[in-house]
Structures are given as C-alpha cells and as structure tokens.
Amino acid sequence: MEELLVNYLRFIEEEMDSEKKYDPDTVISKQFDEILDEMDFKIATIKFEIDALVEIPRSPSNNNMTLRELVTRISSLPKINKAEAPAFMKKKKGELARIAREMAADLQNMFG
C-alpha cells in the first residue's frame, strides 16, 4: 500500500504549481486551492490509474477522505488484466483529452 501512496503522491505533486508538499493525511478537498485545484487532482488521479492499471470508482466521498484512506481502498481493487488494458488505456486517455478540452474552453472564455 505504501508504494501506491508514493506513486499517487508523485502524480499529484507533478500537477501542483508549487514546491509545496501534498499532505496524504489531510482531507483531500481541504487541500484544494490555487496550487492544486480539483481539476488538477482529477488529472493526477487519471494518470495514477493508468500507471497502476486500476479503475478508481468516482465518488464525491473520495474527496472527503485523506489520500491515505483512499489508497487503502484502492489497494483492495483488482488490477486491470492484460486483455482489458488497451481499452482501459484508451478510455483514460479519452478522459484526459476531455479535461484538456474543458480547460481550453475555460481559458478561451476567460480571454475571449
């Protein structure tokens, strides 16, 4: 489980706009700010899922627990098997592309 936590933290910290360290023992939603917003967290989560080959069920309650608690739940999830991996990767890359389009549209709206 500790290895999963370290890997997840790596993806989160890559999305952060700071050298600040992410606290795995503080509730996830309480750490959303200008350095790491909810969209950044979603991107980090998708990248983690691709790396770990695990599908994390989306739930609002995920953001109301600590990362350590979430990783404990994730550690009991089955890994995506080899036969399903290509479809899984395509799906996750599609999710990343959708988020990128949403972010681009938001920027376009902001700057007209």
Mean pLDDT of the chain: 93
- Model-wide pTM > 0.85: yes
> Which residue is associated with the tokens 């989160």?
12
Look up the domain containing 22 and give its range: 2-111
The closest alpha carbon to 21, from 74, 67, 71, 69, belongs to: 67
pLDDT digits (tens, 9 = 90+) for 3-52: 999 999 999 999 997 888 899 999 999 999 988 999 999 999 999 999 99
Out of 24-28, 52-56, 58-62, 73-77, least confident range: 58-62
Domain count, the chain: 1
How far is it, in rounded angstroms, from Cα 111 to Cα 107?
Answer: 6
Rg (CA), the chain: 15
pLDDT > 90? residue 61: no
